[in-house]
Amino acid sequence: MTTIDWDAAADSFDEEPDHGLLDPVVRSAWARRMETWLPTARSAVLDLGCGTGSLALLAAGQGHRVTAVDRSTRMVEQARAKLAGTGTEVLVGDAAHPPVGKQRFDVILARHIVWLLPDPAAVLRHWFSLLRPGGRLVLIEGVWNGTGLSADRLTALLTEHTERVHHEPLSADPLLWGKEVDDERYALVARAEPPHRHTEVVDVHLVLRKGSEVLLARRAGTGYADGLLHAPSGHAEDGEDVRAAMVREAAEEIGVELDPDELRVALVMQHRGPGGNPRIGWFFEADHDPARPPRNAEPDKCSQLDWFPLDALPDDMVAYCRAGLDGYRAGQRFLIHWHQDTDAIAHDPGGVPRAVPLPVSATSTGRLHHIELWVPDLAEAEAEWGWLLGRLGHVPYQRWAHGRSWRRGDGYVVVERSPDGSGGPHDRLRPGLNHLAFHVRDRAALDDLVAAAPGHGWRLLFPELHPYAGGSGHHAAYLENTAGYEVELVAP
Could you tell me if 329 and 397 are in contact, meaning their C-beta atoms sit under 8 angstroms apart? yes
Which of residues 306, 335, 357 is at a domain's end? 357
**Are both 30 and 166 inside the same structural domain?**
yes
- Is the torsion defined by CA of 107, 111, 113, 119 positive or negative? positive
Tens digit of pLDDT for each residue in 68-106?
A: 999 999 999 999 999 999 999 999 999 999 999 999 999
pLDDT reported for residue 362: 59
98 DSSP 8-state letter: -
Residues 297, 152, single domain; the answer is no
- Give the DSSP H/E element, type plus range, for residue 418: none
Residues 388 and 341 in one domain: no
CATH of residue 473's domain is: 3.10.180.10
* Domain annotation covers residue 385: yes
Report the alpha-carbon distance of residue 14 to residue 33 in Å, rounded: 21
Q: Is residue 481 part of a domain?
A: yes
Residue 315: which domain range?
Answer: 201-357
Measured CA to CA, the distance from residue 129 to residue 156 in angstroms comes to 18
Residue 325 domain flag: yes
One domain, residues 382 and 319:
no
Both ends of the chain: CA-CA distance in Å? 66
CATH, residue 305? 3.90.79.10
Could you tell me the pTM of the whole model?
0.50
Distance separating alpha carbons of residues 282 and 295, to the nearest angstrom? 22
Other C-beta atoms within 10 Å of 237: how many? 17
Q: Which of 142, 172, 191 is the last residue of a domain?
A: 191
Chunked in runs of 10, what are the mean pLDDT values of the chain (492 residues)? 40 45 87 92 95 93 96 94 94 95 95 92 94 93 91 92 90 92 93 71 95 93 92 93 97 96 94 91 94 95 95 94 93 92 92 89 74 94 94 88 89 92 87 92 90 96 93 91 95 88
Residue 365 located in a structural domain: no
- Residue 270 in domain: yes
Cis peptide before 467 (omega within 30 of 0): yes
206 lies in the same domain as 177: no
Question: 183 and 213 in one domain?
Answer: no
User: Among 324, 357, 390, which residue terminates a domain?
Assistant: 357
Cα-based distances in Å from 174 to 33, 121, 169: 13, 31, 12
Shared domain for 232 and 276, answered yes or no, is: yes
At 275-295, the pLDDT tens digits run 888 999 999 999 999 999 999
162 and 302 co-located in one domain:
no
> Does the residue 196 lie in any domain?
no
Residue 432 near residue 426, CB atoms below 8 Å: no
pLDDT, tens digit (0-9, with 9 covering 90-100), for 390-422: 888 888 888 999 999 998 877 899 999 998 988
Q: Dihedral through CA 8, CA 9, CA 15, CA 20, nearest 10?
A: -130
One domain, residues 396 and 284 = no
Q: Sort residue 210 into left (φ over 0), alpha (ψ -120 to 50) or beta.
A: beta
Asked whether residue 149 is domain-assigned, the answer is yes
Q: 363 lies in a domain? A: no
How far is the CA of 134 from the CAs of 41, 105, 120, in angstroms?
A: 13, 10, 22
Cβ atoms within 10 Å of 35's Cβ, excluding its own: 16
Q: Which of 259, 249, 263, 156 has the alpha carbon at shortest distance from 204? A: 249
**CATH code of the domain covering residue 102:** 3.40.50.150
Same domain for 94 and 134, yes or no, is yes
**389 and 421 housed in the same domain:** yes
Whether residues 151 and 122 fall in one domain: yes
> How far is 254 from 295, CA to CA, in rounded Å?
5
Cβ(412)–Cβ(405) below 8 Å: yes
- Number of structural domains found in the chain: 3
